[in-house]
Structure 1
């Protein structure tokens, strides 16, 4: 199953990012977690031909995540205004006897019904975060301004764009790198076996799977799926 601990899944997001950026960052800072090892190898390979003093193996930096105050603040904000709601919601399902997180099929149904909503709301959170103004704080160093503007127009803040272009050979091979060294997140985050089961049970194709936009509709489908799959089993 896809997981943020799977280095191949994590690396796919990195590949998609640099393709959209049409470049690679000068340095990628990460902690020492094993989920970052594929990103490390891909990034150092893509930076090996740029010839600057931080190219190649110097383009990947390992350190403690707690030393990154900006990202720690983001995680704290995310937990308070986003993650905690979903934790409470799923705990309520457990308390009401609707979810047993020890039963794999229940977790598959949760992913199938709620992952689209979670992703949509996470995208909304990201949009808000990237458009809010970072203000100066006492005893903390760092730039101030709106993250999206800081990223796209660094010269307005006397900053420098430290990304490096993807060379022609890299552009050609990037899809091949992605194919060999990364994994895609499956449809609705579910296993192939579960998706096949839902297709058979509902006599539909996965292309036609609904994308839920409200918690209420997702919960109705969750109840229906659990009931239907229990009958099949």
Structure 2
């Protein structure tokens, strides 16, 4: 299906990011989830917690966004992960309540992650913020100061790092959202100076 976004809040792209989680995405309980408006390229929310695979957590993030923004997007673009089940149900229920025929609107579009427009943003986030934390986390593990098999160590690490990373995610979101973007006819994203 070709990419199309008819305007702000028409198509939101949501996905998880596990680059802080370490080896096989399981060394550290530091999981990110985000949502991007594909038209404006604005990040609508970025969240970090101990999991981004729990459908209840991901559904709650989406519901919180809807309540705060008071906007219902026409479409969601998601990968086929099991974490999106509640989010899909919320989207479909609310579209139905608004009387929107989902066969026409395609309220939820499921497809491979590589086709998800938030994927390009993850590279920017990794280079601009995530890579700053990875050497510290790796040193804690390699120097024997963190044992991933210890639940106590996992809880302590999450308790320390999640608030710090959450603050940095908010800063990065604000910086990213202060930029202006244009999308050319061949779907290349160009950043304009502000």
Q: Per the shorter chain, which TM-score range?
A: 0.5 to 0.7
Q: Structure 2: which 5+ runs fail to align?
A: 1-28, 30-49
Any residues of structure 2 matched to 1:190-205 within 5 Å, and which? none
Inter-partner Cα distance in structure 1 for 2:99 and 2:189: 28
8 Å contact from structure 2 (residues 78, 111) kept in 1: yes
* Equivalent of residue 181 in structure 2, options 122, 134, 138: 134
Tell me which residue corresponds to 1:185. none
Q: TM-score, with normalisation over the residues of structure 2?
A: 0.66
Identify unmatched segments of 5+ residues in structure 1: 147-233
Which residue of 84, 89, 99 corresponds with 2:146? Answer: 99
Deviations 1:95-144 (A, max 9, x none): 22211112111111111122111100111011111111224568425697
- Give, in angstroms, the shift of residue 84 of structure 1: 1.9
Calculate the aligned-residue CA RMSD, in Å.
2.6
Residue 114 of structure 1 pairs with residue 114 of structure 2? no
Structure 1 position 49, deviation (Å): 2.5
Higher share of residues assigned strand: 2
Size of the aligned set, in residue pairs, is: 145
| Alpha-carbon separation, structure 2, partners of 1:58 and 1:13 | 21
- Closer, same or farther: CA 38–145 of 1 in aligned 2, 3 Å: farther
CA spacing shift, 1:46–1:63, aligned 2, 3 Å: same
| Pairing 1:1-233 to 2, within 5 Å after superposition | 2-54=50-102, 58-68=106-116, 70-136=117-183, 139-140=186-187
The whole-number CA distance in structure 1 between the counterparts of 2:149 and 2:122 is 27
Shift of 1:85: 2.0
- Greater Rg, structure 1 or structure 2? 1
Quickly say closer, same or farther: Cα 1:93–1:138, change in 2 above 3 A: farther
**Stretches (4+) displaced over 4 A:** 135-138, 141-146
Indicate the structure whose relative CO is greater, using CA pairs within 8 Å and at least 6 residues apart: 1
Which SS does the other structure have where 1:52 is aligned? coil
Shift of 1:32: 0.7
Deviations along 1:144-177, one digit per CA (max 9) or x if unpaired, are 779xxxxxxxxxxxxxxxxxxxxxxxxxxxxxxx
CA 137–48 in structure 1, closer or farther in 2 if over 3 Å, else same: closer
Asked if the contact 2:74–2:105 (Cα under 8 Å) also holds between the matched residues in 1, the reply is no
Displacement of 1:62: 0.8
Aligned equivalents of 1:40, 1:135: Cα separation in 2: 29
More helix as a share of residues: 1
